[in-house]
Amino acid sequence: MNCIIVASGNLLFSPEIKNLLKKTDLLIAADGGASHLKQMDIHPHVIIGDMDSIHPATRQFFEKNLTPIITHPSRKNSTDTDLCIDFAIKKGATAITLVGVTGTRLDHTLANIFLLKKLADLGIKSKILDAHNEVYLVTDHLELNGEKGALLSVIPISDTVTGLTFTGLEYPLEDACIPMGSSLGISNYFSQTSATISIATGVLLVTKSID
């Protein structure tokens, strides 16, 4: 089951994003993310959070439309996005896309990126989409499609990544070993319309970006 979680950070109102939101099996708004959906005239299946960032008029709108709202206390041990992920997992989500989870708060942005590790450990496919990036976390293998010339970077987020191999990129690698802190994987780009990234051990952050 595919799930999309919409938070209150940056969100590109593109036809592609709107189409994804309308077609997903489970659409969850994380607190103020409900305002993004209201602007696009899309109704989530549920709104979850401590309700500190949702506009009162937006909450009233969805309450009148009988959208379920699950309220958590403001003093809690998880972010609203994390709570939404837990809800989606309990509902049987097998793939989760996070949108609106990047923005001016670097702490929240980083925390949301590292939620991808939580999902990877559970065997759930996941990614982050924003106006300029697709973000993935790789513990074994990833295949991506993209236009020739599209930017792709890889960043080790474990002490070492071993067996790093690229295909379909301008600067190939085969069975490479790179440590955390290396910039070796920054600003590669698609030489074909599809690329593969595989590793033997470690954890790798992958970003496909529009400059």
Mean pLDDT, residues 80-94: 97
**What DSSP state is assigned to residue 157?**
-
Q: What CATH number does residue 65 fall under?
A: 3.40.50.10240
Give the whole-angstrom CA distance, residue 194 versus residue 211: 19
Q: Above 80 in pLDDT, residue 202? A: yes
Residue with token string 């939580």: 118
Residue 47: per-residue pLDDT: 98
What percentage of the chain exceeds 90 in pLDDT? 89
Please give the DSSP secondary-structure letter assigned to residue 1. -
What is the reported pTM? 0.94
Name the domain boundary from 131, 152, 171: 131
The DSSP line for 154-208 is EEE-SSEEEEEEEESBSS--SSEEEETT--TTTTEEBSSSEEEEE-SBS-EEEEE
The answer on pLDDT for 184 being more than 90 is yes
Verify that 95 and 165 share a domain, yes or no: no
Does residue 117 sit in helix, strand or coil? helix
For residue 160, the model assigns a pLDDT of 97
- pLDDT interval class at 89 (50, 70, 90): very high
Pick from 131, 151, 183: which residue ends a domain? 131
State whether 127 and 142 are in the same domain: no
pLDDT at residue number 15? 83
**pLDDT, tens digit (0-9, with 9 covering 90-100), for 26-76:** 999 999 999 999 999 999 999 999 999 999 999 999 999 999 999 999 899
Domain hosting residue 77, numbered range: 2-131
Considering only CA atoms, give the Rg of the chain.
18
Instruction: Please indicate, yes or no, whether residues 55 and 122 belong to a single structural domain of this protein.
Output: yes
DSSP state of 203: -
Q: Based on the domain organization, do 52 and 67 belong to the same domain?
A: yes
**If you average pLDDT over residues 75-86, what whole number do you get?**
95
Is the domain of 26 the same as that of 81?
A: yes
* Together in a domain, 103 and 149: no
Based on the fold, state whether residues 125 and 153 are members of the same structural domain. Answer: no
208 pairs with which residues across the strands?
134, 152
Residue 113 CB contacts under 8 Å (≥ 6 apart), including other chains:
128, 135, 137, 205
Residues 35 and 66 in one domain: yes
pLDDT at 189 over 90: yes
Q: Is 92 exposed, middle or buried (0-12, 13-18, 19+ CB in 10 A)?
A: exposed
For 152, the 3-state DSSP assignment is strand
CA separation for the pair 8, 25 (Å, rounded): 20
Claim to verify: residue 114 and residue 152 sit in the same structural domain: no
pLDDT band at 91 (very low <50, low <70, confident <90, very high): very high
Same-domain status, 39 and 110: yes
pLDDT at 173 over 80: yes
Cα atoms in the Cβ-side hemisphere of radius 13 Å centred on 72 = 19
pLDDT number for residue 38: 95
Number of domains comprising the chain: 2
Q: Which residues contact 77 (CB under 8 A, 6 or more apart)?
A: none
Checking if the pLDDT of 161 tops 90, the result is yes
The verdict on 126 and 142 lying in the same domain is no
Query: Do 48 and 70 have their domain in common?
Result: yes
* Chain segment 129-157, per-residue pLDDT in tens: 988 899 999 999 999 999 999 999 999 99
Last residue of a domain, one of 76, 102, 131: 131
Entry field: residues in the chain: 211
